[in-house]
Structure 1
């Protein structure tokens, strides 16, 4: 992986992996609802300037998660991933948490995305790489620009997520397209 950091704080690091052409999202520590709301607003902000059809979501270093996170993700964040341009998501679970069943439950609520759950980062990355090789018929590659309507909708979603988190979003590091 060749990673360029787009955002980082105590609980979240977001990178553009230019060698694989995907967004790599690394979560860390204890994830409470306010922490996840803030992190998801930051992730959503990354999609404003660039669609990432593939995301490697790494929870390897998560040490705990609040019970209130899953319902919020299902209702407020994950349904908008398709609008953001996500077509394939590899979700790597923390080995220190019994959260696999929670992740599997969340995934069942997202039938419009190609999502797979893994217990190792390498397995999730390999799955996404196989999807990249099949990109000719699975993804809008090279990326199709969003319509003005879709961009406006995404702008509103990001503003709503920021408002829920109590954030005023500043610029995110520029991404390579």
Structure 2
């Protein structure tokens, strides 16, 4: 696995996996709405620097989050789709109070397609199976 670090700030690092041709986003520590928005904006910047149709969004190293999906989040996802994102594998944080509400929304997202997981292995395997049409 050859990862190229694209962007990094406290609590998040974003790398590009050359072998798999997707971004790997590793969130760490505690996150609230403000730090999550900042991280999401960093993800959008990374998409513009190193476009990828797939992202493995790993929240398994988050120790606590109070984040929930909002209209801002949905607009951000639309911007990510415009920037080229087609598939987002979202590994939930171990402690995620808003999980049930989030899953109720995530299942209806299609541009990009978002799938949620409890572990990196299942997210990785799902992302591998997603086909991206050339030129998309």
Q: The TM-score by the shorter chain falls in which range?
A: 0.7 to 0.9
Q: Displacement of 1:109 after TM fit?
A: 5.1
Distance 1:2 1:102, change over 3 A: farther
The answer on whether the counterparts of 1:29 and 1:64 sit within 8 Å (CA) in structure 2 is yes
Greater Rg by CA: 1
Q: TM-score, normalised by structure 2?
A: 0.86
Structure 2 residue runs of 5 or longer lacking an equivalent are none
Which structure ranks higher in relative contact order (CA pairs < 8 Å, sequence separation ≥ 6)? 1
Point out the structure with the larger strand share. Answer: 2
Aligned residues: 135
Q: 2:118 aligned with 1:125, yes or no?
A: no
Moved more, 117-126 or 98-107: 98-107
What residue is the counterpart of 2:133 in the other structure? 140
The answer on whether the counterparts of 1:23 and 1:52 sit within 8 Å (CA) in structure 2 is yes
Distance 1:106 1:27, change over 3 A: farther
The answer on whether the counterparts of 1:93 and 1:99 sit within 8 Å (CA) in structure 2 is no
Q: How does 1:3-14 map to 2 (within 5 A)?
A: 3-14=3-14
* Alignment RMSD (CA, Å): 2.0
Q: How does 1:16-95 map to 2 (within 5 A)?
A: 16-67=16-67, 69-71=68-70, 72-74=72-74, 76-95=75-94
Q: Displacement of 1:19 after TM fit?
A: 1.5
Q: TM-score, normalised by structure 1?
A: 0.68
The answer on whether the counterparts of 2:6 and 2:50 sit within 8 Å (CA) in structure 1 is no
Distance 1:99 1:26, change over 3 A: farther
